[in-house]
Chains A and B, each alone.
Chain A
Amino acid sequence: MSARKIVITSGKGGVGKTTTTANLGATLAKRGHRVILIDADIGLRNLDLVLGLEKRIVFDLVEVAEGRCQLRQALIKDKRFESLSILPAAQTRDKDAVSEQQFADIVDQAAQVADFVLIDCPAGIEAGFRNAVAGAQEAIVVTTPEVSAIRDADRVVGKLTERGMPMRLIVNRLRPEMVRTGDMLSVEDVREILSIDLLGIVPDDEEIIDTTNRGEPIVLDETNRLRTIYDKIARRLEGETIAFTSFDQQGFLGRLFGALKAG
């Protein structure tokens, strides 16, 4: 059985790609899968920080690509999850230090020793994006319920469609109370525009900022509701059908058509 190779992308920056990669990766590992997370943001890496592994970096992705070390030497094991490791990006190199082919080769190598390879894509749709997508077989598109984020996601969905890549959507940082007051787009609104299948809805949580700063993925916190939410996302990725949590909200389009279940 070969591994699932999934790129986490968005177009717009700051919508939560890295946080999603870290928490989803940690959750999949907790569920017993062997997981490798690859930071494709060469020059602006952050996945190491979000997982609190920045001090343990010895080699990076560019050094693997250049054949200066083995993949297994560059992988950092996250001791909290046993079967989770990350391949950090180089911090002082440019995105064009690695070719699409080299990137795809590294993803394939990782896939030989993992069940899930999650690729944390940089913002934008330049060379860094093309690299991150090169080795993936499926995509998770992360967006926030904001007009600008959705426009960027739409552009990315178009690019992934051109490649024939299957993709699913995570709506991140939803604030149900703002949706209720009509000040934020609802999940149906977002889905209606992007028209791709929904993988998960993650509410905005103040704690994310703190846990990210501390390098402790929020799914480590047994009391946090996001733990359950990421668990459901992981199970949906595994193929389970799980109903979406109702945040008791109907958006503009939802009100209009009345039929779709609220996120």
Chain B
Amino acid sequence: MHVLKQPHDDGSEPNPDARAGDIPAKLGRAIVITSGKGGVGKTTTTANLGTALAARGARVALVDADVGLRNLDIVLGLESRVKYHVLDVLDEQVTLDEALVRDKHNETLFLLAAAQSREKDEVDTQKMRDMIHALRERFDYVLIDCPAGIELGFKNAVAGAQEAIVVCTPEVSAVRDVDRVVGLLGNAFRPQLIVNRLRPAMVKKGKMLSVEDVNAILRLPLLGVIADEPEIIITTNKGEPLARSRDGATASAYHAIAARIAGEDVPAPAPEEAKESFFGKLGSIFGGKR
């Protein structure tokens, strides 16, 4: 029986040379993808980063923590292959091996689906933590797709993670929610930021927050910026993550973020400049909050 560890106390890094079939010598990294606000792109980000990390040869497990409202299976196009889910594993009905669904395209990418017809309060936090640890013994990366909100589902999603990626859209409400989540996470998770759905043309017109505006409030290490593209909606509906290809700016951006997660010194995309800053507005919200 393993002893549960605090985040980072083992100092483990994934083995960048791990290939399919290899058992990582050290524990993999468990990273929760979170945001507070819903609909900012957590699931899409999880699917694409998982795909991009697996394309690098890493063994990746994607865990859908949104019990009752799962969607990661759809975004990956694996919904018809899901037989068992997280709660089946936690209830010891099936083994991890039986519940993990291998991706159709990526040998080293696996999905552990959430239960659709169960409730979040059926998840035992300690068991969830143990399960994530068991996954870390077998995978280089365990990406946990967190549900919206900061209720029990959030707490369970975060339980086994050591690191956090927070996804934020350039909207005041999303920034406020992310700020709250970062506060709840504390420093232990070393949260890093992905700004999602940026529309550079709107930023130029002063109609959208710039990456600087967002990060002037959040002050987090910037992992990457993803533009708002109709392709995202299309590929999500079709269950084919964009990052399966390397063509196009958005797919490249996901691969660059994956490289940065893996520790490569790839520059973050240059953030757009806003002509008219929203900073005054943001300052009033965050400066004056109760």
Q: Which residues of A contact B (CB under 8 A)?
A: 11-15, 18, 43-44, 46, 49-50, 54-55, 57, 91-92, 94-95, 122-128, 146-149, 151-152, 155, 175, 178, 183-185, 206-207, 209-210, 212-215
Contacts and interface: CB of A to CB of B under 8 A. Distances in A.
Contact of A14 (B40, B75, B152, B209): B40
Contacts of B237: 146-147, 183-185
B171 A44 contact: no
Nearest to A58: B290
Given A124-B69, A210-B202, A49 B176 contact: yes
30 contacts: A12-B39, A12-B69, A12-B71, A13-B37, A14-B37, A15-B38, A43-B150, A44-B177, A50-B173, A94-B150, A94-B151, A123-B37, A123-B38, A123-B39, A124-B148, A126-B120, A126-B149, A126-B151, A126-B152, A128-B151, A146-B237, A148-B71, A152-B71, A155-B116, A183-B233, A185-B237, A209-B170, A212-B171, A213-B278, A214-B281
Interface residue range, chain B: 35 or more
A183 B234 CA distance: 6
Q: A-B pairs with the 4 shortest C-beta distances?
A: A13-B38, A14-B39, A13-B148, A123-B38
Contacts of A14: 37-40, 148, 169
Interface in B238-290: 278, 281, 284-285, 288-290
B207 A210 contact: yes
A206 B153 contact: no
Choose among A18, A44, A178 the residue with the greatest number of B CB atoms under 10 Å from its CB.
A44
A170 B45 CA distance: 26
Contact of B233 (A11, A12, A184): A184
Contacts of B209: 213
Choose among B120, B234, B237, B285 the residue with the greatest number of A CB atoms under 10 Å from its CB.
B237
B172 interface: yes
Given A46-B176, A209-B171, A155 B37 contact: no
Interface of B is mostly: loop
B26 interface: no
A44 B38 CA distance: 11
Contact of A213 (B75, B177, B281): B281
Choose among B69, B230, B237 the residue with the greatest number of A CB atoms under 10 Å from its CB.
B69
Contacts, number: 144
Contact of B39 (A13, A49, A155, A206): A13
Contact of A55 (B43, B75, B284): B284
Nearest to A184: B233
B74 interface: yes
B202 A206 contact: yes
A63 B286 CA distance: 21
Contacts of A46: 37, 173, 176-177
B69 A44 contact: no
B151 A95 contact: yes
Contact of B207 (A49, A54, A126, A206): A206
B48 interface: no
Contacts of A151: 69, 71, 74
Given A18-B173, A126-B153, A185-B237, A175 B230 contact: yes
A184 B290 CA distance: 41
